[in-house]
Amino acid sequence: MGVSVDLNADLGEGFGRWSLGDDDALLAVVTSANVACGFHAGDPTIMRRVCERAVANGVAIGAQVGYPDLAGFGRRFIDIDADELADAVLYQIGALHAFARAAGGEVSYVKPHGALYNTIVHHEVQAQAVVDGVARFAQRMPVLALPTSAFLRLARASGLRPFPEAFADRAYRADGSLVPRSEAGAVIHDPAAVVARAVEMAVTGRVTADDGTVVDVSPVSICVHGDTPGAVELATQVRRALTAAGATVAAFTR
């Protein structure tokens, strides 16, 4: 019997007149959609459309919560108070859930975005604040993040359901953390290598780190991108290769 793996991607990251990535094409490839909720990207109309299309395609809807920073696309660390961060998280989930429900679906998981995602790998106070915001929405809500993050650890301790993801196009350290983007070799650009790593991660649960060590990352989901040229094509290849390797590609929240 084969393994099952999820493919997740960031979606609905336009704003008003501005679009980003090809949401419709990506929704035909992924099994989980991290939908921006209006704080760092996304607006009500975009959220409605992505939710409708996701439900039509059988794609799970996740709340891609971020810092309140449209100008910075949520990519700048903000030293926000824990209470305000928890409230911002709850607000975003609630707003998205209204669209998910109107489309016949629901918010079935939460995945933090950008600088918030990176911050709560190590920032205990903000990590706990995100946990608190999510838990106020639903005490057993699944959350998706790096396996080595403080966030996943605190999520588990608070009763949320933590799920680890992996990046097929990022280099790893021997301790399971990502090589920072500021370092050479942090991002893997060769499509064939990306596809091969996705299959390795999904089938074996392991990935080869930058020092040659084999690390166990056991992802339930692999993150693919949609906002660069060729990204949708690459995601499509990843999906095909996973299927060819005997893996079932399905939402991790099923």
* Interacting residues toward its own copies by CB under 8 A: 13-20, 38, 41, 43-45, 47-48, 68-73, 75-81, 83-84, 87-88, 90-99, 102, 115, 136-137
Q: Which is nearer to its own copies, 17 or 189 (CB)?
A: 17
Which residues on adjacent β-strands are paired with residue 105? none
- In the bound complex, what is the minimum distance in angstroms from residue 92's beta carbon to its own copies? 8
Q: Which is nearer to its own copies, 94 or 191 (CB)?
A: 94
In the three-class reduction of DSSP (H, G, I as helix; E, B as strand; rest coil), residue 110 is classed as strand
Q: Which is nearer to its own copies, 101 or 206 (CB)?
A: 101
Closest CA to 162 of 150, 172, 170: 150
- In the bound complex, what is the minimum distance in angstroms from residue 36's beta carbon to its own copies? 11
> How far is the CA of 232 from the CAs of 11, 14, 22, 123, in angstroms?
12, 16, 8, 32
- In the bound complex, what is the minimum distance in angstroms from residue 38's beta carbon to its own copies? 7
Q: What are phi and psi of 206, to 5 degrees?
A: -125, 160
Q: Which is nearer to its own copies, 72 or 191 (CB)?
A: 72
In the three-class reduction of DSSP (H, G, I as helix; E, B as strand; rest coil), residue 9 is classed as strand
- In the bound complex, what is the minimum distance in angstroms from residue 217's beta carbon to its own copies? 27
- In the bound complex, what is the minimum distance in angstroms from residue 180's beta carbon to its own copies? 14
Q: Residues with Cβ < 8 Å from 246, sequence gap 6 or more?
A: 2, 3, 203
Yes or no: say if 218 and 25 are a contact pair by the CB < 8 Å rule: no
Q: Which is nearer to its own copies, 76 or 181 (CB)?
A: 76
Rounded to whole angstroms, the Cα distance separating 217 from 108 reads 22
Q: Tokens 């790893």 identify what position?
A: 172
Yes or no: say if 169 and 227 are a contact pair by the CB < 8 Å rule: no
Q: Which is nearer to its own copies, 100 or 247 (CB)?
A: 100
- In the bound complex, what is the minimum distance in angstroms from residue 206's beta carbon to its own copies? 33
